[in-house]
């Protein structure tokens, strides 16, 4: 039986294992034929959407991996806008709204309110939090 999943990521791209575990779990469930509709990044998890991360050449690039996963499997990547703004992860629209000269939200990620999380909580068969 195929299920629809949503993932909530609270851990940053680097510094803890949470985000990497979420990514590995996401890949595994997709390989098993399940559907992953959305990954919602909350708290420090919003740092997964920062395009300015630059891991060493011999390290795993988790931001790029999330982007590829989203592109390949049509998965929505949403960062909580309030948590992201507090941590300096700024989308283009928010940069304009707050009169900032730059933005750094990675391509493939979008910023959303907690309504985005609520929506997926109501529609997914399973929600897994990391």
Query: Of the listed 36, 75, 80, 83, which one is catalytic?
Result: 80
Please identify which residue in the block is written with the tokens 């709204």. Answer: 97
The answer to whether 80 is a known catalytic residue is yes
Q: How far apart are CA 87 and CA 32, in angstroms?
A: 35
pTM over 0.85? The answer is yes
Per-residue pLDDT reduced to its tens digit, 10-27: 999 999 999 999 999 999
Residue ranges with strand state E in the chain: 4-9, 35-41, 76-80, 109-112, 126-129
Query: Which residues, in sequence order, are CB contacts of 4 under 8 Å at separation 6+?
Result: 34, 35, 36, 37, 123, 124, 125, 126
Query: Rounded to 5 degrees, what angle do the CA atoms 124, 112, 4 make?
Result: 15
Q: How far apart are CA 90 and CA 59, in angstroms?
A: 25
Please identify which residue in the block is written with the tokens 């300015």. Answer: 52
Per-residue pLDDT reduced to its tens digit, 44-67: 999 999 999 999 999 999 999 999
Q: Supply the pLDDT for residue 1.
A: 86
Indicate whether 89 pLDDT > 90. Answer: yes
SS3 of residue 51 by DSSP:
coil
Strand pairing category for 76-80 and 126-129:
unpaired
């Amino acid at each position: 039986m195929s299920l629809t999943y949503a993932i909530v990521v609270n851990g940053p791209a680097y510094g803890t294992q949470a985000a990497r575990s979420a990514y590995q779990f996401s890949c595994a469930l997709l390989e098993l034929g399940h559907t992953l509709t959305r990954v919602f990044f909350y708290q420090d998890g919003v740092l997964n959407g920062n395009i300015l991360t630059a891991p060493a050449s011999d390290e795993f690039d988790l931001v790029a991996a999330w982007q590829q996963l989203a592109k390949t499997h049509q998965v929505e990547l949403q960062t909580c806008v309030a948590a992201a703004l507090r941590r300096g992860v700024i989308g283009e629209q928010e940069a304009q709204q707050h009169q900032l000269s730059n933005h750094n939200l990675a391509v493939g990620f979008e910023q959303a309110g907690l309504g985005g999380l609520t929506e997926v909580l109501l529609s997914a068969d399973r929600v897994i939090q990391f």
